[in-house]
């Protein structure tokens, strides 16, 4: 499964390279909702930063939204720093007295960790230069994806975890793995989307959870506990991968904005990914298949499977993620 990926988060790339049109309305709706719900960081920093300097009148509302929401998020981090600093000082005063307590020791440890986290998050928020992790998505976070509507390519921000047709928020909590769609289940589990709603996400690398002993190509030693590691897979030569995806739109909960969500299609891994200990891999399609993929014929699923089979096949180098 594709646990995490580094994506092309700047919508301008889709516009410049693929002639896509940006759905300003959907970006405004998403940014307003995540700001209101206190989930601003679900939108990757690189995706937010792409709107900080508007190029036309349509972008000014988004630029204002980004600036205001960033300020509000910074205040949350500063409030957390203040709260945890006071907690730490109180705990250290108790520990320095004649009757140190276990609670004070726990408070000292927890407050110290939370101070480090809040300061790290604040520094990341206020950092001007972008780094690789600013474009990284996880299940539940948002990314720009390309779809086709009325013959036009459109860039829409979508959540990386698909809410299937007929589902609601309660249902999807029972099935948290719908950020990936298995190729061998496309007609069984994904039949209402496969052949109907196709999308493309642009990825430059991806990350997977694997067991250390599998990565090292060995069995668990006697008494050894299984240990998880995160591997970073980079296509060689370095390239942008047009990842085949499925998407859906669901009515918003409690009158909120409609939810656009998507899943990446995965298949059996190439030999080098399998040798690294993982059993699934995303499917990058070839550029010449983009039009056919984005405007699928539900009456000709064989042609869609043929696109997935005739995929781009880079070699994936791996290393432990930083």
- Domains along the sequence of the chain with CATH: 4-22+132-320 (3.90.1680.10)
CA distance 278 to 165: 29
Q: Looking at the predicted structure, is the pLDDT value of residue 1 above 60?
A: no
Of the segments 42-51, 56-65, 296-305, which one has the largest average pLDDT value?
296-305
The rounded mean pLDDT for the chain is 94
Average pLDDT over residues 18-31: 92
Share of the chain above pLDDT 70, in %: 99
Residue 315 — left, alpha, or beta (φ > 0 → left; ψ -120 to 50 → alpha)? beta
Contacts of 115 (CB under 8 A, 6+ apart): 81, 84, 85, 88
pTM beyond cutoff 0.85: yes
For residue 54, what pLDDT is reported? Answer: 81
Q: What is the pLDDT of residues 163-191, one digit of tens each?
A: 999 999 999 999 999 999 999 999 999 99
Average pLDDT over residues 22-27: 91
Containing 120, the helix (H) or strand (E) segment is helix 102-126
Q: Looking at the predicted structure, is the pLDDT value of residue 2 above 90?
A: no
Q: Looking at the predicted structure, is the pLDDT value of residue 126 above 70?
A: yes
Strand, helix or coil for residue 118: helix
Confidence of residue 59 (pLDDT cuts 50, 70, 90): confident
Strand, helix or coil for residue 202: strand
For residue 147, what pLDDT is reported? Answer: 98
Containing 316, the helix (H) or strand (E) segment is strand 315-320
For residue 274, what pLDDT is reported? Answer: 95
């Amino acid at each position: 499964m594709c646990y995490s990926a580094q994506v092309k988060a700047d919508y301008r790339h889709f516009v410049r390279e693929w002639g896509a049109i940006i759905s300003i309305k959907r970006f405004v709706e998403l940014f307003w909702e995540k700001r209101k719900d206190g989930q601003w960081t679900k939108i990757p920093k690189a995706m937010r930063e792409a709107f900080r300097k508007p190029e036309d009148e349509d972008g000014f509302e988004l630029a204002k939204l980004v600036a205001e929401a960033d300020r509000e998020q910074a205040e949350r981090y500063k409030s957390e720093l203040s709260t945890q600093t006071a907690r730490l000082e109180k705990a250290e005063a108790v520990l320095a007295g004649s009757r140190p307590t276990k609670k004070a020791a726990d408070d000292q440890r927890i407050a110290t960790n939370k101070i480090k986290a809040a300061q790290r998050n604040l520094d990341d928020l206020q950092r001007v230069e972008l780094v690789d992790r600013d474009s990284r998505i996880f299940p539940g976070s948002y990314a720009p994806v390309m779809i086709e509507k009325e013959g036009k390519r459109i860039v829409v921000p979508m959540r990386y975890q698909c809410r299937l047709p007929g589902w609601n928020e309660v249902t999807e909590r029972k099935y948290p793995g719908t950020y990936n769609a298995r190729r061998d289940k496309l007609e069984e589990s994904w039949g209402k989307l496969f052949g109907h709603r196709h999308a493309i996400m642009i990825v430059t690398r991806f990350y997977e959870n694997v067991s250390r002993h599998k990565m090292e190509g060995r069995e668990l030693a006697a008494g050894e506990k299984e240990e998880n590691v995160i591997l970073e897979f980079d296509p060689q030569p370095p390239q942008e991968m047009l990842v085949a995806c499925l998407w859906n739109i669901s009515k918003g909960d409690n009158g909120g904005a409609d939810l656009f969500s998507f899943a990446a299609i995965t298949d059996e891994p190439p030999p080098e990914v399998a040798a690294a200990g993982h059993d699934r891999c995303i499917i990058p399609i070839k550029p010449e298949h983009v039009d056919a993929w984005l405007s699928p014929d539900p009456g000709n699923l064989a042609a869609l499977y043929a696109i997935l089979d005739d995929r781009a096949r880079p070699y994936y180098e791996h290393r432990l993620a930083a």
